[in-house]
A and B are shown apart, each in its own frame.
Chain A
Amino acid sequence: DQQVKQNSPSLSVQEGRISILNCDYTNSMFDYFLWYKKYPAEGPTFLISISSIKDKNEDGRFTVFLNKSAKHLSLHIVPSQPGDSAVYFCAASQGGTSYGKLTFGQGTILTVHP
C-alpha cells in the first residue's frame, strides 16, 4: 500500500525555467510534509517542509504548495539550476511534526539542462 506517491519517475527542465515536482498521498492522517533532495552516494538532504495548517511555504528558490482537499503537494523550484539535478523525495508524517516516522514517495529524478 503506497501511501505517498510520486507518479513522475523523472523530469527534465531547462536551466532558468521552473521545475514542478508533484506528490500525492492517500492517508488523511498525514499532517506534516517534507521534501528531500538526494545525490548519488549521499543521504537525503532536507529542503523544505509544510504543516497542514498552511497551504504554502517558501524558502528562497523553493516553494511547497499543499492542497489538502486533493491530498496533493508540489515543490516548485524557480529558477532551476544544473546543481538542482538530483532525486527528489516527498515524505509525510503524522502528529504535526517530522519527529516521528516518515513515509516516503518513490522519488523523482530531476535533470536541469544548461
Chain B
Amino acid sequence: SAVISQKPSRDICQRGTSLTIQCQVDSQVTMMFWYRQQPGQSLTLIATANQGSEATYESGFVIDKFPISRPNLTFSTLTVSNMSPEDSSIYLCSATRGSAKQETQYFGPGTRLLVL
C-alpha cells in the first residue's frame, strides 16, 4: 500500500484567511486527488491534481477558491482560500498506484479544518 502523509493534521483558522495543505506520498504515483468530507457527509471529490498542468475541478469547485499544485509525482498542495465557516471540513488527499494483482486508491489521514 502507499503511505500518504498530510500536513497540518488539523487547524483552526479565522474567516477570510487561507490555508495550504500539503500531501506527500512515499513513492511515485499515477494520480493524486483532493476530497472534502463536510460534517456528517460523505467524501466529495474536489479535483484531480495533474502533474505539470492545471488541476481538473469537479462541478461546484473552482480554482480561485481551491488552488492546487502538483510539482512532481509524489507531492501536492491544496489551498483553501478566503475561508468561511462553511469550509470547515476534513480535507483528504488520495493517490492511485496499481499492481499486477490489485489496483486501488489510497487515502491520507486527512486535515481537519475549523473556520471561525
Contact = CB atoms under 8 A, between A and B. Distances in A.
Interface of A: 4, 34, 36, 41-46, 49, 89, 91, 97-107
11 contacts: A4-B42, A41-B109, A42-B109, A43-B92, A43-B109, A44-B43, A49-B102, A89-B43, A98-B105, A99-B31, A106-B42
A76 to B, nearest CB: 19
Contacts of A98: 96, 103-105
B66 interface: no
Given A46-B106, A49-B102, A98-B96, A104 B43 contact: yes
Contact of A46 (B31, B105, B109): B105
Contact of B58 (A34, A89, A91, A101): A101
B33 interface: yes
A46 B92 contact: no
Contacts of A100: 31, 48
Q: Which 7 A-B pairs have the closest CB atoms?
A: A43-B107, A104-B43, A104-B42, A98-B105, A43-B109, A106-B42, A44-B107
A98 B1 CA distance: 14
B25 interface: no
A96 to B, nearest CB: 10
A45 B71 CA distance: 26
Contact of A99 (B42, B58, B98, B108): B98
Given A43-B108, A46-B104, A98-B105, A106 B41 contact: yes
Contacts of B92: 43-44
B2 to A, nearest CB: 10
A89 to B, nearest CB: 7
A34 B104 contact: yes
B28 to A, nearest CB: 14
A89 B4 CA distance: 19
A42 B107 CA distance: 9
B43 A99 contact: no
Given A98-B105, A102-B105, A106-B41, A42 B31 contact: no
B63 interface: no
B107 A49 contact: no
